[in-house]
Structure 1
């Protein structure tokens, strides 16, 4: 090549710029928070463990302090390890830090329609308005008849076959959400739509855990590869079609019941009203409902499983809780009205969410413009991770953090929503439900479900270690945590037995009485539960 022509110098300059930019990939800018040493091109990518990554994130928090950074290929990540950092950035600067980072596989699986993963936009704001009205603290009380019914069926199933406690919990939480969102009950564990919802979610989590899924996010030019060379994308497209099909089927059935005036009160009524006002597609309407099915079903079921594991490992806590229940409730089942007189049970809910949160590293945020914090420059589109595990296990915040100790919350009678909105972040109970404008709208419903379940299970049952075939007790490992999008304890057996014949009879009688309100053949409600109020959405209200 002759360098006497002007165009040749232009090509050389462009080539030099490309080489220079490539050479910067994997390096930490001097203005960025500190972090572990990087390697060219990959940064810290090689240091992220495939399993139990939260443990490594906690070690880096101990080493680098309240805020550190990771360089993952072309992507810059800031990790917040203190409650104050979360308050300062995600709460106080919510207008900047309320978006989500790009995720190629997630966008394909969800079609860009999942509220949880959606970027901060007008569409997100519209969805948020729907959730804020339908899932407000006031509206949460409207759903208690649904929660009581589903809870009684779960208790009865635990009497019948306690070895299937995970399946019973899943049916309970899923049926609760199908009632709240779509207006019908999920009557049994074998329901194919229940099975598909969980299997699709697990497949999505598995896809995101694959190395190639991470790589296409960190090196975006790889997204231009054809499907034949990127099979994970083919799998994501198939999963999207399956998930969309499930959600659309749910949505269209709910809409028909609403139009026929045969629907129970449910959130789909608000979604249909919003659709008529805003003109959004059936696909988006179905994902608004589908997101709630996933989020509500998984979060509540995980935290109830966490609670059972804790009861096995900390029997003294179980005894204290049962003494309180016996003193307040005697021989009757606890109910929501008892919560004010059950401070230890109230504290157990908070401790379950702190001790093993399903959102172990939160859901990443992203900033929509350049910012600065503690003297560090945070460029636009930086990934912001809330290190929930590190915050929950900070010994300066929670003494002896790996102990399950509800007593640490006995002074705190606030709900988790009140706690999250407190100006004093040091008094916040936990970070399970997110932060800032991404704070979970359904947290009040989740807390009500956890209270009814935890109080009634402890009132009715003793929970202890199961034995293996040789008669040896099986002790669950609290550090054996699995999952991708949502973490949860690895499978463990539990011995769940009624505390007395009288308590067993009380459970069976309560369920038998509740069934009088259900259709004998379908198991659905015969009529709308009495005194069931329902909040309608003011879709034009501002967030």
Structure 2
């Protein structure tokens, strides 16, 4: 009896050791890739691996596989043309299960709509910062790549405990804001403000999903737009310091079309080709989502260029490498708006181009989960850059000793988006007259704001 027991234990141990040794190994029919488990966080490594292993390669991350798409054609063939297979999301245990209660739309797996039976802006920003921080910890990565660790009790997993605490705080915050807006809309109070919440209330009445799901819809729209366009404009200012000839060209074009009595408007954009080119080049030169923001995942097994892509594989859009492809963009590291002169397409039109080589950039992603705010972002960037050229001069800041410090290109703050590390800059009005125009426009816009700084009505 003892012999049989020890033999059984030996077989179980051998089986466990064998399968542990298989963790991180790459099946022969997967796309090629690095021989060891990589450490994520170095974007230049992704670029080097693309040069070594080709436009489609795989990374073995614990028990998971990640397929990295580093060419425009691979993105077109898989994320666009086979979007029914490549539009889900990976199983992000910390980001979606613990921190979001399974309710964050941007991370949701594909599903069909069904009926569910079941104070301040600064606080929102602090909440979002903490969410990002917890997603970037080692505990989050381990739970994603080694699912067995998810079953550890909370008292043995400090990361899990902190994540659940965050979710309890966040859902209360979002629910309080949502229920206040919902009651205001249903009761048709005079304090009701125009926003997406009205449509969410109507959809909730029709679909009958609970308030905690409803609360996540406007909150995530706010999250998605809270730092993306501002980050791109921040990168544009850095480009003006690193490539000073751009400022003179942009200012000359805006001055010729607009004059100095008013700010540029969207109606001016057809006559501002250099401004439009600057928008496209900013989105290419410094894509906010250098690794395609949130990864995609496959819902079924697929084959591409002789390699198997398994069901449930994480799919990463290597935007940075595509945007640094010298065959696609000559002299890719340089900020050169001239490369887009003559391209009159919007980002949406460009993304839908049949010939992917004619697409301007991949900053908004691809496939069914391309950024839904793409048109808003385009317009915001056009106005932001045109008005920056019209109103301000940008130059390096001189310290008390007469020295200047040039910002370092491609040096980012760690996080979900590519934010350049802080740099010194001096921004001054181009003239007293233009400064007065800017002040007058601000005073005019303040008339549309309530005492709390929120819009009283829709303003176009």
Is TM > 0.5 for Structure 1 vs Structure 2?
A: yes
Residues 494-537 of structure 1, C-alpha deviations (whole Å, 9 max, x = no match): 21100011111111122223334445x444445555xx7xxxxx
Tell me, which stretches of 5 or more residues in structure 2 are unaligned? none
Map of 1:228-243 to 2, 5 A cutoff?
A: 228-243=155-170
Aligned to 2:179: 252
Equivalents in 1 of 2:2, 2:452: separation in Å?
83
Is the contact made by 1:205 and 1:483 (CA closer than 8 Å) also made in structure 2?
no
Aligned to 1:300: 229
Q: Which has the higher helix share?
A: 1
Residues 171-205 of structure 1, C-alpha deviations (whole Å, 9 max, x = no match): xxxxxxxxxxxxxxxxxxxxx63222222222222
Is the contact made by 1:48 and 1:56 (CA closer than 8 Å) also made in structure 2?
no
Equivalents in 1 of 2:187, 2:387: separation in Å?
37
Is the contact made by 2:193 and 2:456 (CA closer than 8 Å) also made in structure 1?
no
Residues 22-42 of structure 1, C-alpha deviations (whole Å, 9 max, x = no match): 22111111101111113xxxx
Aligned to 1:424: 355
> Is 1:116–2:106 an aligned residue pair?
yes
- From 101, 106, 118, the counterpart of 2:95: 106
Equivalents in 1 of 2:151, 2:78: separation in Å?
34
Aligned to 2:23: 25
Equivalents in 2 of 1:427, 1:489: separation in Å?
28
> How big is the shift at 1:359?
0.6
1:429 partner SS:
coil
Equivalents in 2 of 1:479, 1:294: separation in Å?
24
1:79 partner SS:
strand
How many pairs were matched up?
A: 452
Is the contact made by 1:208 and 1:484 (CA closer than 8 Å) also made in structure 2?
no
Is the contact made by 2:275 and 2:385 (CA closer than 8 Å) also made in structure 1?
yes
Residues 452-486 of structure 1, C-alpha deviations (whole Å, 9 max, x = no match): 11111210001111123422112111221113222
- From 212, 222, 230, the counterpart of 2:149: 222
Tell me, which stretches of 5 or more residues in structure 1 are unaligned? 39-43, 127-191, 533-543
1:274 partner SS:
helix
Map of 1:314-325 to 2, 5 A cutoff?
A: 314-325=243-254
1:110 partner SS:
coil
TM-score normalized with structure 1 length: 0.80
Equivalents in 2 of 1:14, 1:523: separation in Å?
65
Equivalents in 1 of 2:257, 2:112: separation in Å?
48
Bigger RCO of structures 1 and 2 (CA < 8 A, at least 6 apart): 1
Map of 1:477-516 to 2, 5 A cutoff?
A: 477-516=408-447
Aligned to 1:88: 77
Equivalents in 2 of 1:410, 1:21: separation in Å?
56
> How big is the shift at 1:265?
2.7
Equivalents in 2 of 1:522, 1:217: separation in Å?
41
Is the contact made by 1:336 and 1:448 (CA closer than 8 Å) also made in structure 2?
yes
Equivalents in 2 of 1:322, 1:80: separation in Å?
38
